[in-house]
Amino acid sequence: MLKPADVVVIGSGGLGAGTAFYLAKRRAGTVVLIDRHEIGSQTSPRAAGMVSCMRKGELMTRLIKVAAAAIPRFTEETGQPLDWVRSGSLKVARRTADAEVIEADIARGRRLGLDVEQITLVEAHRLNPFFETDGVAAVMRVGDDMYFDPAQVAVGFARGAAARGVTLLPGTAVTSVRIASGRVEAVETEKGAIATPVVVDAAGAWTRQVAAASGIHIPLVPTMQQLIVTETVPAARPDLPMVRIMDAAVYMRPCQGGFLWGVYEEEPTFFDMDALSPGFHIATSLAPYMGRRASSSLAAAMSPACLSRLHWATRSPRGSPKASRRSTYRRCRSRGSAKRRNPRLGSARMPLGSTGISMGRYEAATVGRS
């Protein structure tokens, strides 16, 4: 039997470690933060780390404003480093319907006190010279948006929590939560039970499995998302505004001297975490796709659809598009499948199997292509 606790937080990603930190800050009693792997080692360090303040609903916009305000205070609050940049962002509409969404966003954003405005295409290109405006209908600038190094957040919160007395238990898998007469009694782990009246299930992609072991159903299904990090690109300054292209559902931000691209897929691949082995570790599963440039904090999983778009980000403002497309492919190859022979769609191999990406959408969505 392990020592009893007032609260046990299961999962030490950004959500769990942040919860443990703020519980300790509020002096909520003895808190244990438990993880089957190393602290903060799964999804959280591999996110894009982008903070988008303009949300569809007012409640979410208010919530994200609170979260965004906490980022500049992170180091002061936790005593841990966090690299962040308030770069602002450009939300790009290429269809009339999306331009109307931007108009409504601006009205709502102003009502909620956000720094939002519609800017001209010339101004958008001036702010981010990598952004080519051919075919663009409208651009909204969001001055509040920022990005941060996601690898620092969960670990920073956990260290800050430990400094305030929270017990960290890495390498300890939770097997179930014991419940009797409708009340939580203990958390069962592979190393013994922890008696506690309060449990926080912050197990990320495994949240459903942890709850199901105690008979609670949580309708949550993890999906795969592609993330690409380029090698160094001349003139890719960290303060260049991030770009989101609405109809293509892609985003881009500066990253370690290059760019990071994220892609929301139309028909994403869903995972059944039960189908993965109990020892599944994200770093091990991504190892074949990590290359020289990809840092341990960022997953670099390539797909042909992403390759077809990457030249847009790596095109130097004054450079030759053709030359840069070739060099982009060289960068991609360094972390992709050796079978991939050239960057054109059809001749490339998907390293992660079928991703469900709709090629047509990405072809049509390419901006600034020549």
Ligand X SMILES: Cc1cc2nc3c(=O)[nH]c(=O)nc-3n(C[C@H](O)[C@H](O)[C@H](O)COP(=O)(O)OP(=O)(O)OC[C@H]3O[C@@H](n4cnc5c(N)ncnc54)[C@H](O)[C@@H]3O)c2cc1C
Binding site for ligand X (CB under 6 A): 10-16, 34-37, 41-44, 46-50, 173-174, 202-206, 210, 225, 227, 262, 299
Whole-angstrom distance, CA of residue 41 vs CA of residue 287: 14
Q: Give min distance, CB of 355 to ligand X, in A.
A: 13
Q: Which string of DSSP letters, residue by residue, matches 134-198?
A: TT--EEEEETT-EEE-GGGHHHHHHHHHHHTTPEEETT--EEEEEEETTEEEEEEETTEEEE-SE
Minimum distance of ligand X from residue 240's CB (angstroms): 16
CA distances from 342 to 2, 222, 229, 363 (A): 56, 31, 18, 16
Shortest CB 260 distance to ligand X, Å: 9
Bridge partner list, 259: 254
Among left, alpha and beta (phi > 0; psi -120 to 50; other), residue 247 is alpha
Beta carbon nearer to ligand X, 36 or 91: 36
Q: CB nearer to ligand X: give 11 or 109.
A: 11
Nearer CB in complex with ligand X: 204/327: 204
User: Cα(first)–Cα(last) distance of the chain, in Å?
Assistant: 66
CB 39 within 8 A of CB 158: yes
Nearer to ligand X, 279 or 346 (CB): 279
Q: Shortest gap between Cβ of 93 and ligand X (angstroms)?
A: 20
Q: How far apart are CA 124 and CA 141, in angstroms?
A: 8
CB of 326 to ligand X, least distance (A): 27
Rounded Cα–Cα distance for residues 327 and 325 (Å): 5
Task: State which residue has the least CB distance to ligand X.
Answer: 13
CB of 262 to ligand X, least distance (A): 6
Closer Cβ to ligand X, 176 or 316, answer by number: 176
99 or 350: CB nearest ligand X: 350
